[in-house]
Each structure stands twice: as structure tokens, then as C-alpha cells.
Structure 1
Amino acid sequence: MTRTDAAAVGRFRELLRIATVSMPTDDPAADDTAFVAFRDAIARLYPSLHGVLERDIVGGYSLLYRWRGTDAAAPLVLMAHIDVVPVVAEEWTRPPFAAETVGAGEEAEIHARGAVDDKGSLVAILEAVDALVAEGFTPRHDVYLAFGHNEEIAGDGAQAIVAVLGERGVHPSLVLDEGGAVVEGAIPGVQVPTAVIGVAERGVMTVRLTARELGGHASTPPRDPATARLARAVLRLHRRPFPTRLVPPVRAMFETVAPHTSGPLRPVFASIGVTGRLLAKVFPRLGPELNALVRTTAVVTELSGAAGVNVLATSARASVNVRLLPGDTAASAAARIRRVIGDRHIQVEVESASEPSPVSPWSGSAWDRLAAATASALGGDVLPTPYIQLGASDSRWFTSISDHVYRFTPFHLTRAEREALHSHDERIRVGSWLRGIGFYRDLLRAS
């Protein structure tokens, strides 16, 4: 690792130590100190960038930078978010905000909340831009850096940034946010590393199920209490999942990887037009990620009942997290949930909903730019492929001002590293992160 690389890693670790945990503004524990400290720290650590780029503070703590190019038309937008999810410190092997390194050289791991989600991308973008500015580079087209501050709580930071850009008449030719990564073994039979680039993302909605009764003392329960009726509704929903199907981006993904697939799956993927329906039925048995690629998912995440152990619940509630595959809508999903539950005494309410995003093309100049940066910085053997982003991101708001919105985190991540997202022991290997800087640098040079 060079001295320059070591300095970049040092800046990354310093920013990871700032605990920018997002909390709702009405939470009594909410504190903006970390977000102000983070903003001040990047201004100090990246003087070249801050000497040239224009900065706006949007929506309280979100940051929007403009790097003027020789042409203001068709700009590039690079996105990331400042905030991170909370931690349960005792579950971590190492302190979650110490940013300790384990090992040596490029295989060393940096352990910290936000190492991948999403300060890994944010700091890699800063490193790439700051270095290019220091070299005297000027992009051909304008470049915007859009860093929301409350993505993890579905906040309004990114929406505020989009509103600013919309008012200024900005129509990006390419928007890139967090999303898929360079993975191996995620697609059965595929023999090469794949860069799974999200061309769309599933919608997200919260549905509340409520069963009501008169209440009373638990010593004299009714024949069919609210908790029992709610439990039946939850089980019905679990036992009758949404039907499987292959949406066009997923079909295109398997067509892309087919030539690089070994064994009997190669002809299966190559003839996806014929085998697709069968594959969609098989994939749910092969793991949660493949299951989520081929169906709208619905899972109960919260349950609540009475206020005490000896009290009958006057209302029993369940929260259902629904992720909508493109082609489904919040209205159609809510209607199906009501049919599956089949109990008119169970109240089904949609508390919030965001529809699936439009699908961006996986051909053309914007896609080609992403593919070229992937090959040059991450390895010529890495295969770019379209993908449906399984989780929600801030990028969905940008589809109102751009037809080319993509979701890709330019790091080679193992399964264990991916599973640590939003969990304990989040980490990233130094070499993987440094190559991500190269990806952003190459993409900027082509912009």
C-alpha cells in the first residue's frame, strides 16, 4: 500500500469514527452534533475539493456539491448518504465506531458501522474528486455530489436535494447511488465475478393489521381473542406468499451471465424465455436473495398487544413490511393481503407506500460508462449485469429528473461482508475500498 493509499485510509477511518446515526427529529435522543462534526471534518480533510466545488447545505444536514464542467448540460450525479443505522455495541467483536483495522496490507479489514453502508462510497467519492481537482482536472460536463443525511429512516434529505436540482432545471444524464456490488457465488453456477448494477428498485410499503375487542381481565378470556385472530391473519399471510415471476431486468441478468455459467444451468439460463417460469418457482428455495428477485415479499416485523400480562388486548397489531416487485403496486398488494387474510374483522391499513421505481436501460451511453469504469478499475474479468435493487435507496427520488438512475456500490464484497450490513461487525477490506476510489475516478474522467 502506497503512502497516498495509507493517507486515504486514514481519512476514511477518521470519518467512520463520527457516529452519524440517523434518528427521527421528534426522537428525544436526536442530536445533530455528529452531522455538523462530519460536515466540518470533510471540509478540513478535502481542501482541494472545497476550494473548487460549490456547496449547498440542504434540508438541514444534506450536502449538495456542484463541480462545474466545460458544459452544464447532461451532468453526472454521484450519490451516497451520510447517516448510518444504530448499533448494539455488545454484539460487535470490536467497537463499532473505533474503525479498527484487522490484518495488514490490502487484505486488512476496517471494522466500523458505515464501512460499506454508506460511508464507504461517500468517502471514496470524496477521495476521487479531491485527487482529480488537485491534478487540475476539469470534467467535460457538470458533476454533482448528492449526500443525503437521513436515508436510513426514509427521510427527506434526498427529496430536498431533488427539489433544488429540479428548480435549477438540472436533468442528469447519469445518477449513481448505492446498490449492488461485485459478488461471487451469488448466482448459482456463474464462474466469474459479477457487478450487479441496479436498474430499478423495489417499492416499499408498511401495512398495519389490527384486530380489536372489548378487553378485560386475562383470567376470563373470550373464545376468540384479538391476539388469536391476529395470529391467524399473520400465518395466512406467511403461508400464501406473493406469486413468483421474472421481471425484464432479472431475465436480462440471467441472459447476461449464461455464457459464463457452468454445468446444466448454462443452457437453462441461455433459454430463459422458455425456462423462466420454472426458474422463478425454484429460486425461492435457493435463498432469500433469489426469492426476493422473483416476487413481492411481505413479512411481519412488529407485533403489539396488551399493556400488561394480565390484561386482554383491546387491539392487537402487526406491522407488515412489503417490498414491491416492478409491475406490482401498493394498491394491488394491499388488495391481495386483504384477500389472503380473508377476515373482515381484521383491519388492513396502508400506513406508507413508495411504488417501485421506473426501470433504467441496461444499454446505451450511460450504461456503457458504468461498464467501462467497472472494467478499468475493478477488473476486466468482472461482468456487469442488470439487477433489481432489493432494498430502497435515496436514488428513487431522482427518477423524477433523470431516466438513467443506477444503483451500484463499486466494492468487491464477500457474502459475509454483505450479511454484516445493518448487522454487527460491518467491515470492508482495504484493497476493495481503494479499488472503489479508482472506479469513481475513472467514471469522473469519462464525464
Structure 2
Amino acid sequence: MSSPSDLTDAHRLLSMGRCTASDLIEDALARAHGEAARAFVRHFDAQARSAAFAADRAREAGAPLPSLAGMAISVKDLFDVAGQPTTAGSRVLQGRPAATTDAAAVARLRRAGAALVGHTHMTEFAFSGVGWNPHSPMPANPVTLALDATTPRIPGGSSSGAAVSVATGAAWAALGSDTGGSIRIPAALQGLVGFKCTARRVPLQGCIPLSPTLDTACAITRSVRDAVRMHEVLADRTVARRERPWPLWRLAVPRTLMLDGLEPAVARSFEAALDRLRQAGARIDEIDLPELAELVSLQARCSFAAVESWTWHRDLLATREAEYDPRVAQRIRKGQDVPASDYLTLQQARADWIQRVEARTAGFDALLSPTVPCVAPPIIGLADDDDVFFRTNALLLRNPSVVNLLDGCAITLPCHRPGDWPVGLMLWAGAERDDDLLTLAGAVEAALA
């Protein structure tokens, strides 16, 4: 039997009795302890095997299998898992008592039968898109390493280990978070699918916050159909897929900001993807979206991430700042002296900005952009050069963070040709348009295959 292509395929084979969940989980655990070892900060082998065993017994008994029955799912070290500590990639939280209950998102995964394989590596407190963490070795991007073994490249962040766990086969899907692109960046850099739903769709209880205004609990997968499956579990809802022929979709490519300074490999893959979609019958307009040029001035006085993270971290920073990643502490401290008036002004300005963006894009079903403007940068230089690090981080966050500020939804899917550097195509729209976006993403995935 050939290996399953994705989570949905594995579930189908399990339901047919063509494989066992126990065999699948042993393969995943071997990878988690082998090639994906750096992707994990702790392993949940016993409970993963237990969930797989329960799925096998249910199938043998003829019971219907839940949607994630015995399937290997990794969890970002930001979400509570009962019986395990949650450390958010930080030394500051080492020694923290184990969680007594699951985070809301984890509880939904468990109810769907997921075999949780471990907590994954991440940027400390989820505060960058690079994936760098000085407290634990960053896993190299396994997809680019296969293309060029001489130059290890970043996995992307902050859900770095989450993406690596999926790319290496240590998990079929990964629970992570997205505050400014932390799901979509690593997914794009590793040729995976990352869906950022409308933030309010999935509860954040039991998840260490970065910015409650922008934080989104969501998943990295191998396919769009897996993204739908994971979203239905995490959001506890059924996606309404309203299929339609290509000429009835109206799509737009915003020229403002999103196409600035694209690396040649990204530009080539993006343009080739647009050509393929047009050949399939898609109607794609290029538009100006001047509101995107306002983002720097909008956040000139303060950002949601700085102000809201300072609120959570101020007591820890007062006593244990020396144990933080200095780059993370530096960004959190930017919220220290922000007046309440500036924070309230930012909230009001954001609401006005959202209204204007939605008015300008109202005639379109979705917008198309490169997920990030570059391929995965080399790791070398990031550790010792702050200028390189912050320039790289800003570049990675530039495009995806637009959607978080919009309070919208977005999905990245690979658009490069086999053998090329991984490049992500981002489809995005305003709030509560998740179902149409997922439907469209399925059609795009098929057109690009």
C-alpha cells in the first residue's frame, strides 16, 4: 500500500481497514524523534499511542470514526495540554506546573480523536515570523534542505516546529497560532497549506496570548481539504462549500505594497500561478488598494502586539528579563509607556481602516497576493546580526499581517513548481468569509496541481 497523501487520505484508508492507526502513529513518532527531533520541545508518545489504539478498537467494532481518529497532530507550545507544562518557547516559564485541563482548541482536537504527538518549537512567546529561538536549536527548513543541503534556511515562525512536524511527516496537521502570519509564513516557506480563519471562530482559552486583538488559533496542513477538516474541528462548525464555475468568482490582485520588492523566484511562481488560474477561467483584476500604504502611519505610535503583550509580561519582565530572548523583550517593552489614549486611538483608526478596505474590495470574492515576498532566507547571520534579523522579520510579516489587522481570513497554498523553492499564494478576504475562501482555495489547488 502506498503511503497516504494527507490526513483525509489516511482517515479514508483507516476507515476501510487498509491500515491501522497504530502503524501510522508509530511512523509519525519515529519521525518526531528522528528527522523532526528539533521540531519538538516535548513528546506525548504514550497518549498518542493510546489514542491510536482507541481508534483501531473503534474501527474493529464497526463504530463510526471521528474526523481525526488516531491521526498524529502536533500542538504549538502555546496551548495547554492536560498533564503537560506549557512554556511558549521560553526559559521564563520552565518549571511551570503542568496544565490541569486542555486548552479549548486542544479539547476539540481530542474530542475528534486526535493522537497528540507533542508540543512544537516556536519563537519565544510567538513574537517573530523568523522562527529563531536562542533557548532551543531552531529546526532547519526540511524542504529547502532537500533542495540545497549546503545552506540551512529558516523554517519561518512563529509556528516553526508546527510546520516542520507536518513537512517531515511527524504529524498530519499542526495546531498553531497566527497573530501576524505565524501560521502562513512557515507554511509558505515549507510548501504547505496554512489557513488563518476569522479570529473569533476558535476560542483562545488556555492559550498564552501575544495580542488578544489579533491572535488566531488555526492549523497547518498538507492540503486544502485537510485545512477544511481541521477548521471544522477547531471552530466546531461545518464549512458550507458553495461550489461555482470559475467565471463566477471575481478575484483581485492588489498592487499596493503586496508586490513590492518580490524576489525573482517568488515573482515567477506568483505570475505563473495567476496565468494558470486565468487559463482555468478565473477573472482576475489588478487594483490599487491605497489603504495598505497607511499601515506604517496607522501603527506609528503603538502596535497591538506591543501594548497587549506588555500587559501580560510586565510582572515577569520586572524580575526575570535577563532570561528572555533580548529581541523579544525589546519588542514587548515598546508597549511599556504607551498612553491609554494612543491605544484607544489605534483601535478607532483600525475600525475605520477596516471599513474603508472592505468598501474598496466589496466587489471581489477574494484577493490574491504572494504570502511572503521572499523564499526562505538562510539561517546564517540571523543569530548575531540584529539588523539582519529585524529586516528579515519585517519582510516576512509584511503581507500576511495585513489580514490580521483587517480581522479577516486567509489561506496560503503552494504555487511553485516541483523542484523550485517553496512559494506561497495567499488568498484573503474580510471577516466571516471563511467558507467561500476555503471553497475557492480548493478550486485554486486543483487548478495549480
TM-score, scaled to structure 2: 0.28
Q: Which has the higher strand share?
A: 1
State which structure, 1 or 2, has the greater radius of gyration over its C-alpha atoms.
1
Pick 1 or 2: higher relative contact order, CA cutoff 8 A, min separation 6.
1
Q: Which has the higher helix share?
A: 2
